[in-house]
């Protein structure tokens, strides 16, 4: 098992998500950046849905108590193993007593730690993904211990892959949402000509954008939403729902992010700029 000597800003265990419970208000949850996670699990030859550690902005300090293999992906947080720099997207062996630490955030926003065989945390409603109150804790804390299978030998087919750069894109691909037809010509022009920036209100539930577009007076019944749904408030604020986002909403659903662009947005932080590209 491993121990979190320090937990970092916001660190959780996630897999690809919790499906089949949105009708009772349970969000999908799961990793925010599936592209980065799939590549890390691929290098370790893990199952597609193997659970990983999602690390936001600042990383933890972790001590391992038995040998295994790990792979880091996503944002680059200047990681070190026993004070020696290591890189993302490489299979790395760790031994008993080894300490993994993180430093300065160099790019992106969310980093991932994949481990051979995945983390052995309990499943709740079919998923390892942490989301309170479905799971007891919303995130990991100092001193937490997480079980994994000891692996002393592993010959991977691939030892490393080219680092993904999808989170460096400054545009988000979108489809028309269910209420797209309610948008005026003025609103459409603003949506696809403006450069928007990520506001301080950004987390696993939703991202809000700082810039406004023309508002509206449309009223509608509360309707279903999914990760990537972009809602427009009466004041003209754009709210982009993410993996822990609510399952219903009462604002017009004007756009829907592509699956790839959810991964891109997950790597954006306060002040980052972006535009919309209609598919």
Write the burial class of residue 16 (CB in 10 Å: 0-12 exposed, 13-18 middle, 19+ buried).
Answer: buried
pLDDT of residue 26: 97
pLDDT of residue 155: 87
Give 10-residue mean pLDDT values along the chain (279 residues).
95 98 96 96 96 97 98 96 96 97 96 98 97 96 97 84 79 97 97 98 98 93 96 97 96 97 97 97
Looking only at the bridges linking them, the beta strands covering 107-115 and 99-101 are unpaired
Of the candidates 238, 242, 252, the residue with the CA atom closest to the CA atom of residue 33: 242
Note whether 237 and 212 are within 8 A (CB): yes
Give, as one character, the DSSP assignment of residue 65.
S
Of the candidates 59, 45, 50, 44, the residue with the CA atom closest to the CA atom of residue 16: 50
pLDDT of residue 14: 98
pTM of the model: 0.95
pLDDT of residue 163: 67
CA dihedral 45, 49, 53, 55 (to 10 degrees): 110
Q: CB atoms < 10 A from the CB of 275, how many?
A: 14
d(CA 245, CA 77): 26
pLDDT of residue 164: 65
């Amino acid at each position: 098992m491993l121990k979190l000597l320090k937990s970092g800003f916001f660190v959780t265990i996630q897999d690809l998500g919790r499906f089949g419970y949105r009708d009772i208000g349970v969000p999908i949850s799961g990793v925010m950046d599936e592209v980065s996670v799939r590549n890390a699990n691929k290098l370790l030859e893990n199952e597609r849905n193997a659970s990983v550690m999602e690390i936001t902005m600042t990383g933890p300090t972790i001590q391992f108590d038995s040998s295994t293999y790990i792979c880091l992906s996503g944002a680059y947080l200047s990681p070190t193993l026993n004070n020696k720099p290591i890189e993302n997207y490489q299979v790395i062996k760790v031994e008993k007593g080894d300490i993994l630490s993180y430093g300065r955030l160099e790019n992106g926003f969310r980093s991932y730690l994949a481990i051979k065989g995945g983390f052995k945390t309990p499943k709740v409603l079919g998923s390892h993904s942490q989301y309170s109150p479905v799971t007891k804790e919303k995130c990991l804390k100092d001193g937490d211990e997480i079980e994994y299978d000891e692996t002393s030998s592993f010959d991977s087919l691939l030892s490393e892959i080219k680092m993904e750069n999808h989170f460096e894109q400054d545009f988000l691909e979108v489809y028309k949402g269910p209420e797209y037809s309610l948008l005026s010509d003025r609103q459409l022009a603003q949506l696809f000509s403006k450069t928007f920036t990520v506001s301080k209100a950004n987390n696993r539930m939703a991202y809000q954008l700082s810039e406004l577009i023309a508002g509206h007076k449309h009223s509608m019944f509360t309707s279903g939403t999914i990760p990537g749904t972009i809602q427009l408030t009466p004041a003209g604020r754009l709210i982009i729902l993410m993996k822990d986002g609510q399952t219903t909403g009462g604002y017009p659903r004007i756009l829907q992010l592509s699956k790839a662009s959810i991964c891109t947005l997950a790597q954006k932080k306060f002040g980052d700029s972006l535009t919309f590209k209609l598919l």
